[in-house]
Structure 1
């Protein structure tokens, strides 16, 4: 299979990027090392090439109403300059994808989707939109994430404007030289951060400009994964899939829409629940490791890793709902058993993502 390449592919290969396949794309998993990159993001600023993600533009006089019948997002709480995280469900309430919707204007919306779901999502939306148009801008739009507690300093110095008024899950459209960039105060690390959407052919210019700042280092998908796991954020294909509802995944609180969106009637059907586990060792559980409670097989690990910020391992797991309130579990790793204790999310509680800047 031929892998897609982001516009920064050559840069990664020329700068110690270790490349792997992810969602049909050739992507950098690390440069200097996952733990180094992880810690730099928690302390200063890292930039991530996230150009593999998909972007659609949905337009039309009825776009808001039509999207509200397909997505779980509460469009009554969305307005131009705001964005919202939510889900697209199948008829059974399972998650087709988790996505962010940006209201560009009352009749135009950008939808950001996971790389491996671009084709599925586009076809599903096209099938269910009635009068609105949908355009796939995925291969025209590069995406660079600037994440870390000092990211505002970098963003302000590079773009030469004040970002202190930009609130969490808000965005602006601005210019850099002669082209437009959309910058949102969003991210996937638990730290203060910004996500930049820009023309595909301008990616290397923005990337190298950001890297010229003394606070900034590049980070790969490996650090992105450990950063998101430490703050309990889900990954599609692991915590989220078509066989689990957002409520089973612990995201029922996000679903406040009063509209009758696809899958809404089946959200209450709960077989399993996602729980957070702490493992007091450096040995970490892996995706699909089996979980036991008193020798009863009761679930599987969805994501597990050593947590660099905490010094021990952590995991997310689906267990049968009747076991979700238990405290002590055992994770099977072939000949070894890992004891695990239930805990609360986020694992890492010092993140700066929601910090007030004014």
Structure 2
């Protein structure tokens, strides 16, 4: 299966604490966001199916982390982020959009409330420097909160799949089965203290994302594989992470969303609290754009075997009505799938469309979802 990770040749790539384990396992390594990362081990399709049916282990240490602390930390993040941060209790995590004054998305992030006055915000790898600069420039109430780039202080792994709860629980000795989605514990993991074990993920499966102190993290990788062997765990590369998120209809920054895309265009209204008291940075523009934005993200199920790729044009009634933002053969659903930004009136489920795949027409229809966990 083809998944494109296009970056210029870089000779000074960064390495995660688990890099040597990837190389020893024979992973195919590629440059990604300035890091030398595993794109696949035994193959994208097999790794994808393993996560859907058993459990997989991902290295996501390239992600960035920003720490916001102080008596006004919650108030500051309430202004900077799109969701209702004030509703978070300690031990809860929340998906958010970080927006600019024109209503576009600077990044999509996860906020973790560690204590009443202590938050960790996880940002996309490709946006680490940009996001910290944005926080530094726009975070309010600096007299009552501090800002710290902790991207180098944390390593991060994800354990995803139906057996993920069994593996993660065995590694931290906690009752994770009763831990709710988007909840987390600060606990030991793989005998490493001070880890954040969160029931979050990007694959469409149940699972956990674990933040580990970077200078102690290296032994965790082989330990997870050892403990998870009975459950059938295997290492998973970035290639399958991308096909899994696409099959689950999750957006990817730089594809479905960017600094020109409104959260409402990307079907992220559920994390965009336009009525929260005081609003948030970009909220007025998002409201205004409800009437002026002409496109919306749609999920497309393709007929036949032709595979749509990002940038290909979408057509209706003989005219171009949009462009593909991501596309692949869904390894688990068994047919080609795509996300596309199309004219708003054509984003309704059931609408027939077509995609120009290298000069050939691939017929498609708008669907509600590709894959939903049973």
On whether the aligned pair clears a TM of 0.5, the verdict is yes
1:184 aligned to 173, 198, 213, which one? 198
Structure 2 gap segments, 5+ residues each:
1-9
Equivalent in the alignment of 1:103: 113
Mapping of residues 1-358 of structure 1, within 5 Å = 1=10, 2-129=12-139, 130-131=141-142, 132-176=145-189, 177=191, 179-212=193-226, 213-214=228-229, 215=231, 216-256=233-273, 257-268=276-287, 269=289, 270-325=293-348, 327-345=351-369, 347-349=370-372, 351=373
Count of aligned positions: 350
TM-score, normalised relative to structure 1 = 0.95
**Residues of 2 paired with 1:240 and 1:182: CA distance?**
28
Structure 1 gap segments, 5+ residues each:
353-358
CA contact (8 A) 1:291 1:299 kept: yes
Per-residue CA deviation, residues 280-309 of structure 1 (Å, 9 max, x unaligned), is 233310011111111111111001010111
**Residues of 1 paired with 2:79 and 2:118: CA distance?**
16
TM-score, normalised relative to structure 2 = 0.91
CA contact (8 A) 1:331 1:338 kept: yes
- Superposed CA RMSD: 1.4
**Residues of 2 paired with 1:280 and 1:205: CA distance?**
46
Alpha-carbon offset, residue 8 of structure 1? 1.4
**Residues of 2 paired with 1:341 and 1:194: CA distance?**
33
CA contact (8 A) 1:82 1:170 kept: yes
CA contact (8 A) 1:273 1:320 kept: yes
Alpha-carbon offset, residue 178 of structure 1? 5.2
**Residues of 2 paired with 1:50 and 1:224: CA distance?**
10
CA contact (8 A) 1:74 1:258 kept: no
Equivalent in the alignment of 2:5: none
Alpha-carbon offset, residue 122 of structure 1? 0.4
**Residues of 1 paired with 2:364 and 2:120: CA distance?**
41
